[in-house]
Each structure stands twice: as C-alpha cells, then as structure tokens.
Amino acid sequence: MKVIIVSDKNHMGRVAADLIEADMRTKTPYVLGLATGSTPVPLYQELIRRNRETGLDFSTAISFNLDEYIGLEVTHDQSYRYFMNHELFNHININKDSTFVPDGLAENIEEVGKDYEKAIRAIGGIDYQVMGIGTNGHIGFNEPGSSLASRTRKVRLTENTILDNSRFFERKEDVPTDVITMGIGTILDTRKAMLLASGSNKAEAIAKSIEGPITATVPASSLQMHPNVTWIVTEDAAVNLQLEWN
C-alpha cells in the first residue's frame, strides 16, 4: 500500500494521471474503473490535456463507472452518465459504446447489478480503479455497514451522504435516496486501485481508512486489503495521519 501526499488538487491530478498513463502503455485493451464527484475532476482534466497534447490514446480503452443514482434521467445534469460525458468522455477519443455506467433507470436493478459484474468479468477485470471518498468513508456508494464482500447492487443512501450531495441539487429533497454501486468485493478484485482525497473535510475519513482498523463501518478501510492500492492525498486531507508515509 502506497500513500502519496501532494501539495494541492492539480498536483494530485498529475500524479494520478502519471500512474494511469504508465499502466495504460503496458496493456491493450485497457479497462479503466472511473468515479464521479468533484475530487477526480483534476485527474480528468489532465487526461484530457494529455489526450490532446501528448497523444495519450483512449481509442481502445473500456471504462466501467462505480455507481449511478436510481431514477435520474441520463440527461439530468446530476446523473453520473451526464457527469462522465461532460467531464471526460466528450473530450477524449474514447468510443462511447465502450463506456459503461450502471443503468439506474432499469426496472430490475438486481439484474443490472448481476449483468454489470458479468460484463466486468467477461472483459478480464478492471485494470485501474479510480475512487474518491465520502466524508463518512464511503467508496462508490458503499455506505458504512456495507459487506466487505458486496457486489454491484442497490443501496439506500445515508442521511449524511444525502446532505453532502445536496450541494449539487436545487433542494435536498431532489437527491435520489437509492443508488446502484459496485460492491466492496468488486472494488477489491480490481488489478490496481487509487483513492484520491483533497480538502480538510476528508481528513478524518482518510486517517480512519489508512491507519484505522479494517471495518465495514469505514468502507474505504477495506482498501488496506487491496493488493495494489495507492492513496493520493492533498496535505490538508492528510493532516490526521500519524505514520510516516512517502
């Protein structure tokens, strides 16, 4: 397990892009696991820049996103499909048909979860999973108490997450209460993983996840069991770490 402490968000984006770019050059087709939220945006901006300026090629890449709200149209600006198109896919040479986000509009979400797992397995697994972290330690939308062996499934959001995410919606009541997310077991099966965190509001969750006990109460602490995980954390999010990293 590696922890890289960086000065700011843009530095975080460059370090994350370096790791992904180096790994992408070793394998075709390359399978990315992607995340939403404000945290990975500097990484996506750096990948867009490299695609345009230095020829980082996504033409054969495949991507699977971690999660999606249940019940939001894909044209809704807070749906994760919309976010991914606007923050990344529309600006790089990836084939949109090779980008997968769980279908939060399907009637049978349980089936969507099973099919998502099957599709990931069929392609040979995810090569690099990108993640942010919730203030309560969630990864994807695996809320505290999620089984460490969970797979892609429907989850009910906690009040804490609804409140956190309400900043993106007009009213708190507009935040969907249910979501579909890859499970912790799904995330632990990825070949490599990176968790990005910036801002002092993540400091407590980061310290518990990196240096605390592995517990379902802090879903990101499960990454201590991942065979190849890198945490890229800005200084303000790293203030509560006690051990010597770097």
Residues with a known catalytic role: 67, 136, 138, 143
Burial class (CB in 10 A: 0-12, 13-18, 19+), 109: buried
| DSSP symbols for 15-46 | HHHHHHHHHHTT-SS-EEEE--SSTTHHHHHH
Tell me how crowded residue 1 is: count the other CB atoms within 10 A of its CB.
Answer: 13
Q: Least distance (Å) from ligand GLP to the CB of residue 107?
A: 23
Which is it for the CA torsion 73, 74, 76, 81, positive or negative?
positive
140 phi-psi bin (left φ>0, alpha ψ -120 to 50, beta other): left
With beta carbons less than 8 A apart as the criterion, state whether 64 and 47 touch.
no
The residues of the shown chain that bind ligand GLP, judged by CB under 6 A, are 35-39, 66-67, 132-134, 140-141, 161, 165
Provide the minimum distance between the beta carbon of 53 and ligand GLP in the complex, in angstroms, as a whole number: 26
